[in-house]
Structure 1
């Protein structure tokens, strides 16, 4: 896929780095970088981001090394711009929705995402010509959301997946301070509700994923894999916090214990042939709580449908880990 114009919905830590990388990425066939427009909803709190981008400045400040230079260069050559008008996406060949999600108690909170999708749908209904845009949801969503929430919502807006657009899902984790490197070198899950969508999406993402891998899968698998990765991290940190408190009661140096445990877990054997099994240190250094947007949210999203059906409320390791991490700040003081 060789798009001439890409729309990225969301000017935050997920959307802007990706827009800047795309606007700087020539095609593998030598074609110039596409035009990329960053779309940010109009509000007193966020409109300044559009002005900053159009002035060649990153609204993220210095938290993402490399983004400032990419934004300045791309704006200077005319391949990157920003707008508060979602109708700017109506003639884009690819639309990437990078809007944050959350949870309210044990339920997903998709207010911002659905508002953005409503604007995208309204714009695409005015689309000139017969070409179908690729619309990729990059936001974190709970398993089954693409099939039971987003797909029906798009259809309810008068658009048919496969006829009017190709609707897909490609969730990704954003490591603070490493976004540019991750975008070019991470493993990327691409999925869709129809078989042709992830194939087209894979072709699109290969444009800038120069060092990473692309895994084509189903929407449900992508949703589970993404939320499961965060849930595992939440459990790992809760385990470390519990062990650290126990060490304190026993007057054992946790940091020394941690080093020794991690050394043992790196030893290869027949059951564990690679030190990559744990993706780094299995036992982390505990902190006074585990925050950020992902870990407090994703384990709950993973179990959303089970919780909705009344299962797992008492026996879930993932929910117990979240309770441990929620209590960590008070236990640290």
Structure 2
């Protein structure tokens, strides 16, 4: 009899929503994570991610369809295991697939004949059928495509977007063999309406990279045009609004203070790194990366100009960053450009603080550990008015930006959220 329990390794912004969707559709789900705080929270019916309600977790836990554990030996109970762990970049923009490989080593001894293993973490083509496959085969003593099934299916989560629902987002699936692909399609078909099979693991890996490279390059384009048009006295936001009325051949992208999140700032460079193995250059990707990573410095310059206009230098000024999460209406601060702004402003001598209703305290992280423990300031007139300038770096819908403008001495708006406010005399767009 085929084992019907689904294991999901990594209970973060990808793994938890995926597990909930499978559970809602009647599949028994075992969440696995090395963090006992997450597994304990799930078993208690609690949520640690803002846009996922405790009620949605508690419902599936009470029904007996969702449980969580730190015991990876329980993989032996599973008919399929989906790997949803981080795939960051190293200091020199080289891929760090250590989380993927360590997961492979952890589950390999417990794989059974016929088990399906699917990698969902974004990575370069070849990771699944070369790197992960080698670890799984070595640790299990079995052969992928013969004794167990292996596939890649890229995650397509968009936290904070109400239209982003796991059930209705088409699922790309590429297997090591046709049988592997069929097995993966069978499992995903239990919970997701449309499955998009491709010819191989590598084609599926490349699909995810294309999606995020497309976004990175187009965001870089509007970021560059923002600087160029600003020098010409043209409002890039007005231009974008006009351009997007064209019903064909144009898709609107928006500038900002830099790129954030676990996908767009990172994923394109997985292909850049792999392309070098084949003697290929990825000039668009690298140029887009240069432009996007330069945007925080543009914001710092605009902040300096605004302060100079009232005869204040950045050095010694108190500056408030409004929004720490990488995008609006989520609590995910991974790779947030606000951290880059905080570092740059502090290096210039500013006294830096932040406000974010979704991130009350900065959590420890590998990249921004020096800010760990810093708390969001209070949201009241006396506190906000005490800063020499406020920078809107993330446009949360539950932040009253009119209050911010009314209370602040200067506001630097990187998201165009002040465009429709009544009083904006003290606002500089950046």
Are 2:73 and 1:87 aligned?
A: yes
* Divergent runs of 4+, >6 A: none
Counterpart of 2:78 in 1: which secondary structure?
A: coil
* Residues 1:49 and 2:18 aligned together: no
Deviation at 1:85, TM superposition (A): 0.4
How far does residue 107 in structure 1 lie from its aligned partner after superposition?
2.0
- 1:253 and 2:248 matched: no
Aligned to 1:176: 159
Structure 1 pair 156–308 and aligned structure 2 pair: CA distance change class (3 A) = same
* Cα shift at 1:4: 2.2
**Cα contact 1:121–1:154 (8 A) shared by 2:** yes
Task: Name the CA distance, whole Å, in 2 between partners of 1:213 and 1:167.
Answer: 17
Q: Does 1:17 align with 2:5?
A: no
The within-5 A match list for 1:197-208 is 197-208=180-191
Contact (CA 8 Å) 1:199, 1:216: kept in 2 or not? no
Residue aligned with 1:93, SS: strand
Instruction: Name the TM-score, length of structure 1 as normaliser.
Output: 0.84
Larger radius of gyration: 2
Normalized against structure 2, the TM-score is what?
0.66
Q: CA deviation at 1:2?
A: 7.9
**Which residue in the other structure is 1:285 paired with?**
254
Q: CA RMSD in A?
A: 2.0
Query: CA separation in 2, counterparts of 1:241 and 1:178?
Result: 22
- Correspondence 1:321 to 2:288: yes
Match of 2:101 in 1: 114
Task: Identify unmatched segments of 5+ residues in structure 1.
Answer: 26-32, 273-277
Say whether residues 1:96 and 2:85 are aligned partners.
no
| Equivalences, count | 298
Decide whether aligned partners of structure 1 residues 217 and 58 sit closer, same or farther in structure 2, where only a CA change above 3 A counts: farther
Please, which runs of 5 or more residues in structure 2 have no aligned partner?
301-430
CA-to-partner distance for each residue in 1:260-305, whole Å, 9 max, x for gaps? 22223x24xxxx5xxxxx6xxx232210001111111111112222
Compare relative contact order (CA 8 Å, sep 6+) and give the higher one, 1 or 2.
1
String of CA shifts for 1:128-152, please: whole Å, max 9, x gaps.
xxx4111111111101222321222
Which residue does the alignment assign to 2:201?
Answer: 219
State the alpha-carbon separation in 2 of the partners of residues 90 and 82 from structure 1. Answer: 15
Give the 3 Å change call, closer, same or farther, for CA 37–143 of structure 1 in structure 2.
same
Tell me if structure 2 keeps the 8 A contact 1:142–1:223.
yes
* Residue 118 to residue 99, structure 1, CA distance change in 2 (3 Å): same
